[in-house]
Amino acid sequence: KTSGFPFLIVNWKITPSLTLANPFTVGPVGPAGLELSWGLTPQFEIGVGAAMRQFQYRLAKNNPLAPDGVLEEQYAPVFLHAAYKIQPNWRFDAYTGVAAGGKFTILDKNGNELNNEKAKKIPFFGFAVNGRF
């Protein structure tokens, strides 16, 4: 089964220091979503954002509940982000947040729902150092 998801690309400079955009850098929530960021100085910015995530995994043929079925995972990570430009070509990013609204669904090989379960909120933290040579 093939599915699609509409994706709106946003890069809106609301004011010289306030931007609403898709965070395309890889972070703990992956690329995309929406982030509202505020440039406190030319080197330092903070932001808040959210995204929707949905993944599907094929289950093994010998799975006792759904042989050759699918496990579907859905959640919405909500995060805080801080970035510091060490030099023009180097940047440090730190993230913290929570994956909320999680749901796991098990489907049989014909796509019929067998079971679903809500997930607890999952806190996360991550950081990245990016550089260009």
Q: What is the pLDDT of residues 48-78, one digit of tens each?
A: 999 888 889 999 999 988 999 999 999 999 9
pLDDT in tens, 80-133: 999 999 988 999 999 999 999 999 999 999 989 999 999 999 999 988 898 988
> How many angstroms separate the CA atoms of 127 and 92, rounded?
7
Distance of CA 70 to the CA centre of its chain: 21
